């Protein structure tokens, strides 16, 4: 199965490489060493009632506050402006309403992950779609939260197949925890600084995930984002380069062709080399939905 959708079929070498990647990920899942790390793109689906993407939500916020810049799809920057013009609580209240006003349901990505024996899922999303998908799959998820406003780490048990941990690193869109949401550039800088200083530390069980032989699976992120790179460096700054490979699912931009053939995407190649060299992480060219569906199909066959 070609996870690249309607693009030209993979050649034999590419298919072999992709199947080897799938085998590694499936093996890690079965050994409870696969840790999905979900970003905003994981909450998108082909459903009409899916949540807005990060750029879509940013544009709603920009319109609400009459943001004067041209980069209205930059979530952190637009939120920074909103908070400056209005205040921190009003910003988070607007985001909360935007994420809860629709009847959004878990999508394909959430359902496929929930049906596999995953014990821990990390996310920077504010929504509750992953834990809802686990419940639909007849599991009992435990929701953890890193809230930098407090000075003590949350006490969480080790996740199990029956009771997986969903750990929210950037807060949650719950009405009584709105101020836990990291929305602005300043929020993310403060978050990285506190992670580095350990004020507070992550829940011990989550810290342990970064020192074991786990394979991280990033779904729904744009890996050129500086905040993701900073977060991973902060979480693993004192850990030697792991001997286990991690993966990120990200659609390669389709550059226009020229008279001499397809235009080379130098930025994609640069990002791929960075993650491979610095984090032993391979980027898989696919959408979140296509990849997760293909992964589930292979998991069932093993």
* CATH code at position 193: 3.40.50.1220
Is the pLDDT at 221 greater than 60? The verdict is: yes
For residues 122 and 238, state if they share a domain: yes
Structural domain contains residue 215: yes
Higher pLDDT, 91 or 195: 91
Is the pLDDT at 79 greater than 80? The verdict is: yes
For residues 282 and 297, state if they share a domain: yes
For residues 174 and 253, state if they share a domain: yes
pLDDT at 21: 95
Is the pLDDT at 98 greater than 60? The verdict is: yes
Structural domain contains residue 237: yes
End-of-domain residue from the set 84, 101, 118: 101
Higher pLDDT, 231 or 161: 161
Q: Count Cβ neighbours within 10 Å for each residue of 226-236 and write b for 16 or more, e otherwise.
A: ebbbbbbeebb
For residues 163 and 81, state if they share a domain: no
For residues 62 and 26, state if they share a domain: no
Q: Is 40 left (phi over 0), alpha (psi -120 to 50) or beta?
A: alpha
Structural domain contains residue 3: no
Torsion of CA 54, 58, 61, 63, to 10 degrees: -130
- Rounded average pLDDT over 236-253: 77
Residue 152: how many CA atoms within 13 Å on its side-chain side?
A: 3
End-of-domain residue from the set 40, 66, 101: 101
Structural domain contains residue 6: no
pLDDT at 67: 96
- How do strand 281-284 and strand 246-249 relate by DSSP bridges? parallel
pLDDT at 266: 74
What is d(CA 96, CA 224) in angstroms, rounded to the nearest whole number?
Answer: 27
End-of-domain residue from the set 67, 101, 135: 101
Lowest-confidence range among 56-65, 87-96, 242-251? Answer: 242-251
pLDDT at 213: 87
Task: Using pLDDT thresholds of 50, 70 and 90, give the confidence band for residue 23.
Answer: very high
Task: Using pLDDT thresholds of 50, 70 and 90, give the confidence band for residue 274.
Answer: confident
Identify the residue whose tokens are 């589930």: 296
List the domain range (segments joined by +) for residue 147: 12-51+102-301
pLDDT at 38: 95
pLDDT at 256: 58
Is the pLDDT at 246 greater than 70? The verdict is: yes
Structural domain contains residue 167: yes
The alpha carbons of the chain give a radius of gyration, in whole angstroms, of: 19
Structural domain contains residue 7: no
For residues 68 and 21, state if they share a domain: no
pLDDT at 66: 96
Q: Is 93 exposed, middle or buried (0-12, 13-18, 19+ CB in 10 A)?
A: middle
- Rounded average pLDDT over 11-40: 90
For residues 116 and 94, state if they share a domain: no
For residues 97 and 215, state if they share a domain: no
For residues 167 and 88, state if they share a domain: no
For residues 114 and 92, state if they share a domain: no
Q: What letter does residue 162 receive in the DSSP assignment?
A: S
pLDDT at 234: 73
For residues 65 and 171, state if they share a domain: no
For residues 91 and 192, state if they share a domain: no
Collapsing DSSP to helix, strand or coil, 21 comes out as helix
Please tell me the pTM assigned to this model: 0.88
Structural domain contains residue 274: yes
Task: Give the helix/strand (H/E) hosting 216.
Answer: strand 215-219
Biggest CA pair distance of the chain:
60
pLDDT at 10: 62
pLDDT at 48: 54
How distant is the alpha carbon of residue 51 from its chain centre? 15
Q: Is-contact 223 279, C-beta < 8 A?
A: no
Higher pLDDT, 227 or 20: 20
Cβ count near 269 (within 10 Å)? 11
Beta strands across the sheet bearing 165-168: 142-145, 165-168, 120-123, 34-38, 215-219, 246-249, 281-284
Identify the residue whose tokens are 């069980």: 205
Domain count, the chain: 2
Higher pLDDT, 134 or 278: 134
Sequence-ordered alpha helix ranges (H) in 176-281? 185-197, 204-209, 226-235, 266-279
Mean residue pLDDT across the chain:
86
Structural domain contains residue 87: yes
Lowest-confidence range among 10-14, 157-161, 179-183? Answer: 10-14
Q: Give percent of the chain with pLDDT exceeding 70.
A: 86
What is d(CA 142, CA 155) in angstroms, rounded to the nearest whole number?
Answer: 11
């Amino acid at each position: 199965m070609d996870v690249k959708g309607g693009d030209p079929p993979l050649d034999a070498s590419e298919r072999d490489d992709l199947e080897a990647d799938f085998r590694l990920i499936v093996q890690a899942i079965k050994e409870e060493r696969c840790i999905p790390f979900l970003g905003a793109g994981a909450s998108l689906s082909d459903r009409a009632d899916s949540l807005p993407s990060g750029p879509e939500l940013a544009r709603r916020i920009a319109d609400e506050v009459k943001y004067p810049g041209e980069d209205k799809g930059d979530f952190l920057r637009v939120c920074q402006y909103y908070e400056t013009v209005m205040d921190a609580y009003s910003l988070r209240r607007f985001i909360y309403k935007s994420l809860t006003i629709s009847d959004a349901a878990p999508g394909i990505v959430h359902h496929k992950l929930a049906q596999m024996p995953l014990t821990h899922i990390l996310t920077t999303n504010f929504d509750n779609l992953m834990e809802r998908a686990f419940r639909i799959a007849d599991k009992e998820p435990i929701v953890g939260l890193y809230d930098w406003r407090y000075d003590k780490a949350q006490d969480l048990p080790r996740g199990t197949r029956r009771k997986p941990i969903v750990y929210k690193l950037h807060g949650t869109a719950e009405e009584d925890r709105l101020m836990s949401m990291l929305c602005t550039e300043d929020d993310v800088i403060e978050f990285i600084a506190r992670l580095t200083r350990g004020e507070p530390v992550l829940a011990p069980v989550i810290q342990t995930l970064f020192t074991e032989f786990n394979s991280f699976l990033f779904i729904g992120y744009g890996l050129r984002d500086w905040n993701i790179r900073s977060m991973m460096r902060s979480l693993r700054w004192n850990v030697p380069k792991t001997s286990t490979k991690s993966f990120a699912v990200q659609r390669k931009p389709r550059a226009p062709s020229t008279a001499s053939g397809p235009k080379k995407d130098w930025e994609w190649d640069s990002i791929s080399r960075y993650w491979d060299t610095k984090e032993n992480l391979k980027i898989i060219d696919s959408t979140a939905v296509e990849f997760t569906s293909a992964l589930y199909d292979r998991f069932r066959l093993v």
